[in-house]
């Protein structure tokens, strides 16, 4: 399993450290750095109403735009 579905699975297991590592790795791949608040925001979104991979990806694209990527 890969991509946002893996992130969602990590969060659903309560592996917030693993989810944080996953999203920080993604950020590194894109040459950006996430703040702890941004990281936590994605984790909260995934725990909320069961965000889909599409919704998380949309949020990711917003972050990339904000960071000039």
Q: Do residues 61 and 26 lie in contact, with contact meaning Cβ atoms separated by under 8 Å?
A: no
Q: For 27-67, how does the pLDDT look when each residue is reduced to its tens digit (9 = 90+)?
A: 999 999 999 999 999 999 998 777 899 999 999 999 999 99
Q: How far apart are CA 32 and CA 50, in angstroms?
A: 26
Per-residue burial over 3-23, b = 16 or more CB atoms within 10 Å of its CB, e = otherwise: ebeebbebbeeeeeeebbebb
- Give the DSSP letter of residue 10: H
pTM here is 0.89
């Amino acid at each position: 399993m890969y991509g946002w579905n893996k992130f969602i699975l990590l969060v659903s297991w309560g592996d917030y450290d693993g989810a944080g590592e996953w999203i920080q790795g993604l950020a590194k791949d894109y040459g950006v750095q996430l703040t702890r608040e941004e990281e936590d925001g994605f984790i909260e979104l995934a725990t909320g109403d069961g965000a889909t991979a599409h919704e998380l990806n949309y949020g990711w694209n917003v972050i990339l735009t904000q960071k000039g990527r």
